[in-house]
């Protein structure tokens, strides 16, 4: 017979898979000799068995529960269901990963009329006993039978009104006996059965109900959000009840072994004397700080302090503990790794490292890479935020907070910002021309678009706060409206939080983040264990400077098209695109080369002596075409064409599926003069920088390659143009030529490509699109259905799909290495800044990840994590 039920003494902290987090930690405490109420854990296996068995507890499980219960009775010297010495039980969920509040709990199990009566007599505390009993009836009805507890609460409210009571505390012992009676009547009237007086039925039904709660709506949603597999199931902890509300010598609360907000090494928490856990949550009474326990019950306090230190040492991390004091006796109910703010996580990790409690590696692993963001971006004043109303919630597309005056047009934003005003740019969606306006804004709010929409990508690159896809809002006649009639005009204040996605229709103060010495020391530790580089995706000198400051070891992706986004430049770019002949195109290119060269020279110099990967023109040309009447008119005038002619050309460039259209290296094949211009710009920039005394490493990257001949064609143009210029200049300049690997076919023929290139950079955005056949711009429309139905549990554009896209990458690397073992391997898709994907990149042997500026710190920490966690592999 499979073992489904474990006494606490049979478990330990490493058995989370079977016992759940709570059960495993309780077992560990029991083993450490810490006082914990007696009990046992019904395993996650039992949960899965329950579901397999058509949502019924099998005979095996029932039997094992009974046997373990007997042992608990022996230990506790009480008996479940025995009116004269009753054992009361709590039944709590506890999954492998923490899912706070998502699943159900039932307390005071084991009461019935007879037991309650006897207990009231024996304890001489009738009030306490019937308060517990009426709570059991309510919780049982709610959790086991699905009868909403509101019906009981309403009765209680009316009862108190009739008695003119103002608080539960006014209820007398007799009141509670009466209420208990009424609750049983409500139970029967609504459920057409009696509340079960058989305590074993209570127990079996309660365990079953907790298992069922694994699949309640909010638990499913929580798992989806947190990437927790449905298959894990939950464990159930059955434990002797202890009561913090028995006397003035009793109490209950929560404590942390260190301050979770600041990280200071101080005992931290709060408690209530003579209360139950529920009372803390209900907010009826204000809890006291844990320090007060020192004077209330000095012995208990000292015992608690030593337990906390013991647990911290044992777990090598800050602990979050629940406790109850019953008549002066301390019971630990739960301990777990405590959640903390980003600054606290650094402080705690570094302190523990300095204390010698943990190793360098352990200190690094304590800090969640995703939390680092918080240290870099402005945040709203916490006190102020508490009283502000969230009007809408979009996607948390780029972290940080912003507050400023609404502006609906990029040009207007620039103008207002130049006049010293803080501006939030609000757009239906952004397009490349908005980029300068974005730069001048405090933050961006878009009505449409996902986490990888243009606005989101650009904002993350600039470290601007961005909320995207706030579809509850709409833009109507230059006003921003919600569905409840709230309207903001241009110039009104708005606040947006890119870390939560929240939108506020009012002004909120901001606070600056600070980089502490401790943080810098932490990052030094991080780098000392890292075995993969972090580069940046950066297109401007400002971004590059910031990135270098943030620790980027080079530019892994410079999108040359972004260099043409300012008004003057895009005008010349449009002339190039609309050119009818090679001559016209070359004339326009002659103007563009100047911009390109200056920008690249700047980047090379800022980054020197680190490498700079320059990707040639990539997006479908029509992305740059004029859209407004005025833009078309201006262009027509300058090109000596009629508006109609321009429109015809624009129409010719339209594509059904531009993502799979005329873009990437296909542009260089159809218009080799573009590649010639870009090569001249790169090489001349490098020559200028060398002449100014810089050591530069330009790496030219060809996008969207699908074929060997195609690669050779474009590479030939580059090499011929570059070598001629270098020879003419007589300088010593080495450059690399490499390719993006972003189509399935490039992965398949990677050996051929590797023979002809110095580096690969995986473009996992496009690779994911093509491997799945998901258009990033459209997929959100149907992917929600996939999430809702549990078919997908994460966004494949955020975290690399290891099973599919990852397989292609792995086989591409294996084939490439066979023919060119020195090939440099990187990644520059959005995945490069995400911790799980970074771990994958490490495992498949990439040399670097290249992410947007404000994800560099996250990435550096994630790389360190990967380096530590995969030590055995490397």
Return residues touching its own copies (CB under 8 A): 655-662, 666, 669-670, 704, 706-707, 709-710, 713, 742-745, 748-749, 766, 769-775, 777-779, 781-782, 785-786, 789-792, 801, 803-805, 807-808
What is the spatial distance between Cα 395 and Cα 832, in angstroms, rounded to a whole number?
20
Q: Pick the closer one to its own copies by CB: 213 or 743.
A: 743
Map residue 715 onto helix, strand or coil: helix
The residue annotated as part of the active site, out of 828, 841, 851, 865, is: 828
| Pairing of the two strands 479-481 and 474-476 | antiparallel
**Distance between alpha carbon 562 and the CA centroid of its chain, in Å?**
28
Q: Residue holding tokens 């800044």? A: 833
| Active-site residue, 841 included | no
| Number of other CB atoms surrounding residue 612 within 10 Å | 28
Q: Pick the closer one to its own copies by CB: 265 or 586.
A: 586
Q: From its phi and psi, is residue 110 left (phi > 0), alpha (psi between -120 and 50) or beta?
A: left
Crossing angle of helices 629-639/643-653, nearest 10°?
A: 110
CA nearest to 784, candidates 224, 394, 99, 223: 224
CA nearest to 824, candidates 751, 757, 873: 757
Give the up-direction half-sphere exposure of residue 636: CA atoms within 13 A in the CB hemisphere: 17
Q: How far is the CB of 397 from its own copies (least distance, A)?
A: 18
CA nearest to 281, candidates 248, 244, 308, 311: 244
What is the spatial distance between Cα 270 and Cα 280, in angstroms, rounded to a whole number?
9
Crossing angle of helices 113-123/126-143, nearest 10°?
A: 150
Q: How far is the CB of 787 from its own copies (least distance, A)?
A: 11
Q: Pick the closer one to its own copies by CB: 221 or 786.
A: 786
Q: Pick the closer one to its own copies by CB: 178 or 230.
A: 230
Q: Phi and psi at residue 300, in whole multiples of 5°?
A: -60, -45
Q: How far is the CB of 755 from its own copies (least distance, A)?
A: 15
Q: Pick the closer one to its own copies by CB: 805 or 846.
A: 805
Contact assessment for residue 130 and residue 58, using Cβ atoms and an 8 Å cutoff: no
| Active-site residue, 747 included | no
Residue 403: enclosing H or E segment and its boundaries?
strand 401-407
Q: How far is the CB of 824 from its own copies (least distance, A)?
A: 23
Residue 760: enclosing H or E segment and its boundaries?
strand 759-762
What is the spatial distance between Cα 425 and Cα 439, in angstroms, rounded to a whole number?
10
Q: How far is the CB of 783 from its own copies (least distance, A)?
A: 9
The residue annotated as part of the active site, out of 454, 562, 831, 865, is: 454
Q: Pick the closer one to its own copies by CB: 347 or 831.
A: 831
Q: How far is the CB of 789 from its own copies (least distance, A)?
A: 6
Q: How far is the CB of 760 from its own copies (least distance, A)?
A: 16
What is the spatial distance between Cα 771 and Cα 153, in angstroms, rounded to a whole number?
54
Q: Pick the closer one to its own copies by CB: 354 or 781.
A: 781
Contact assessment for residue 267 and residue 290, using Cβ atoms and an 8 Å cutoff: yes
| Number of other CB atoms surrounding residue 179 within 10 Å | 22
Strand order from edge to edge, sheet including 479-481: 474-476, 479-481, 487-489
Q: How far is the CB of 219 from its own copies (least distance, A)?
A: 19
Q: Pick the closer one to its own copies by CB: 645 or 707.
A: 707
Residues 6+ apart with CB under 8 A from 156: 179
Q: 662-691: b or e for each residue (b if 16 or more CB lie within 10 Å)?
A: ebbbbbbbebbbbbbbbbbbbbbbbbbbbe
Q: Pick the closer one to its own copies by CB: 595 or 774.
A: 774
Q: How far is the CB of 364 from its own copies (least distance, A)?
A: 34
Q: Residue holding tokens 């306090």? A: 301
Map residue 698 onto helix, strand or coil: strand
CA nearest to 758, candidates 810, 698, 822: 822
Determine the length of the chain: 874
Q: How far is the CB of 279 from its own copies (least distance, A)?
A: 43
Q: How far is the CB of 827 from its own copies (least distance, A)?
A: 18
Residue 7: enclosing H or E segment and its boundaries?
strand 5-7
Q: Pick the closer one to its own copies by CB: 294 or 745.
A: 745
The conformation of residue 366, written as its DSSP 8-state character, comes to: H
Q: How far is the CB of 189 from its own copies (least distance, A)?
A: 34
**Distance between alpha carbon 166 and the CA centroid of its chain, in Å?**
43
DSSP 338-350: PP--HHHHHHHHH
Q: Pick the closer one to its own copies by CB: 629 or 782.
A: 782
Q: Residue holding tokens 């502000």? A: 388
Q: Pick the closer one to its own copies by CB: 79 or 655.
A: 655
Contact assessment for residue 733 and residue 690, using Cβ atoms and an 8 Å cutoff: yes
Q: Pick the closer one to its own copies by CB: 408 or 792.
A: 792
Q: How far is the CB of 814 from its own copies (least distance, A)?
A: 13
What is the spatial distance between Cα 438 and Cα 466, in angstroms, rounded to a whole number?
10
Q: What is the 3-state secondary structure (H, E, C) of 787-824?
A: HHCCCCCCCCCCCCCCCCHHHHHHHHHHHHHHHCCCCE
Active site residues: 454, 828
């Amino acid at each position: 017979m499979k073992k489904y039920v474990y006494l606490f003494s049979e478990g330990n902290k490493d058995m989370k898979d079977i016992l759940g987090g709570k059960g495993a930690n309780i077992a560990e405490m029991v083993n450490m000799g810490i006082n914990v109420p007696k009990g046992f854990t019904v395993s996650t296996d039992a949960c899965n068995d329950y579901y397999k068995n058509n949502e019924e507890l099998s005979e095996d499980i029932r039997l094992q529960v009974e046997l373990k219960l007997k042992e608990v009775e022996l230990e506790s010297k009480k008996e479940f269901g025995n009116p004269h010495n009753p054992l009361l039980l709590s039944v709590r969920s506890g999954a492998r990963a923490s899912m706070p509040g998502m699943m159900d709990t039932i307390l005071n199990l084991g009461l019935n009329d007879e037991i309650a009566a006897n207990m009231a007599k024996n304890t001489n505390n009738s009030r306490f006993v019937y308060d517990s009993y009426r709570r059991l009836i309510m919780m049982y009805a709610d959790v086991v039978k699905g009868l909403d507890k509101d019906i009981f609460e309403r009765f209680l409210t009316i009862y108190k009104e009739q008695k003119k009571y103002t608080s539960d505390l006014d209820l007398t012992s007799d009141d509670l006996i009466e209420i208990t009676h009424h609750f049983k009547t409500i139970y029967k009237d609504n459920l057409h059965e009696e509340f079960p007086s058989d305590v074993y039925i209570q127990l079996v039904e309660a365990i079953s109900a907790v298992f069922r709660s694994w699949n309640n709506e909010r638990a499913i949603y929580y798992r989806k959000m947190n990437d927790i597999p449905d298959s894990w199931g939950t464990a159930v902890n059955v434990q002797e009840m202890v009561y913090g509300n028995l006397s003035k010598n009793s109490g209950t609360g929560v404590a942390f072994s260190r301050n979770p907000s600041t990280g200071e090494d101080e005992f931290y928490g709060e408690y209530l004397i003579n209360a139950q856990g529920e009372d803390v949550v209900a907010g009826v009474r204000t809890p006291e700080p844990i320090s007060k326990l020192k004077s209330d019950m000095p012995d208990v306090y000292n015992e608690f302090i030593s337990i906390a230190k013991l647990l911290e040492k044992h777990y090598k991390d800050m602990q979050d503990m629940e406790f109850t004091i019953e008549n002066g006796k301390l019971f630990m109910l739960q301990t777990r790794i405590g959640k903390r703010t980003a600054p606290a996580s650094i402080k705690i990790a570094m302190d523990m490292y300095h204390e010698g409690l943990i190793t360098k590696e352990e200190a690094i692993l304590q800090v969640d890479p995703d939390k680092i963001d918080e240290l870099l971006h402005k945040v709203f004043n916490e006190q102020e935020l508490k009283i502000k109303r969230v009007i809408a919630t979009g996607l948390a597309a780029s972290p940080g907070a912003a507050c400023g005056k609404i502006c609906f047009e990029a040009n207007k934003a620039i103008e207002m910002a130049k006049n010293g005003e803080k501006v939030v740019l609000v757009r239906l969606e952004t397009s490349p021309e908005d980029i300068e306006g974005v730069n001048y804004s405090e933050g961006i709010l878009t009505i449409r678009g996902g986490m990888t929409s243009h606005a989101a990508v650009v904002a993350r690159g600039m470290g601007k706060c961005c909320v995207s896809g706030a579809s509850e809002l709409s833009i109507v006649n230059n006003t921003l409206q919600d569905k409840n009639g709230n309207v903001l005009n241009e110039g009104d204040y708005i606040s947006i939080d890119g870390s939560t996605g929240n939108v506020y229709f009012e002004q909120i103060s901001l606070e600056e983040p600070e980089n502490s010495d401790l943080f810098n020391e932490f990052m030094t530790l991080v780098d000392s264990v890292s075995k993969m580089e972090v580069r940046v995706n950066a297109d401007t000198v400002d971004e590059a400077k910031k990135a270098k400051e943030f620790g980027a070891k080079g530019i892994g992706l410079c999108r040359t098209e972004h260099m043409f986004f300012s008004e003057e430049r895009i005008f010349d770019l449009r002339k190039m695109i609309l050119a009818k002949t090679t001559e016209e195109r070359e004339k326009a290119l002659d103007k563009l080369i100047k911009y390109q060269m200056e920008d690249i020279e700047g980047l090379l110099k800022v980054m020197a002596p680190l490498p700079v990967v320059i990707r040639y023109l990539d997006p479908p040309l029509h992305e740059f075409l004029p859209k407004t009447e005025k833009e078309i008119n201006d262009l027509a005038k300058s090109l000596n064409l009629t508006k109609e002619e321009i429109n015809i050309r624009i129409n010719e460039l339209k594509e059904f599926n531009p993502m799979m259209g005329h873009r990437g290296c296909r542009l260089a094949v159809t218009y080799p003069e573009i590649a010639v211009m870009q090569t001249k710009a790169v090489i001349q920039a490098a020559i200028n920088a060398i002449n100014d005394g810089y050591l530069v490493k330009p790496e030219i990257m060809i996008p969207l390659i699908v074929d060997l001949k195609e690669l050779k064609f474009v590479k030939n143009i580059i090499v011929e143009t570059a070598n001629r210029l270098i020879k003419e200049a007589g300088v010593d300049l080495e450059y690399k030529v490499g390719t993006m690997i972003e189509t399935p076919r490039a992965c398949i023929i990677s050996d051929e490509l590797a023979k002809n290139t110095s580096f690969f950079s995986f473009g996992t955005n496009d690779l994911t699109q093509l491997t799945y056949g998901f258009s990033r711009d459209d997929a959100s429309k149907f992917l929600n259905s996939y999430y809702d139905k549990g078919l997908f549990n994460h966004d494949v554009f955020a975290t690399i799909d290891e099973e599919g896209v990852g397989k292609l990458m792995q086989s591409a690397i294996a084939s490439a290495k066979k023919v060119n073992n020195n090939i440099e391997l990187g990644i520059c898709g959005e995945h490069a800044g995400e911790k799980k994907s970074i771990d994958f990149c490490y495992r498949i042997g990439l040399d670097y990840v290249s992410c947007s500026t404000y994800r560099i710190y996250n990435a550096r920490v994630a790389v360190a994590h990967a380096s530590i966690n995969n030590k055995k592999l490397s």
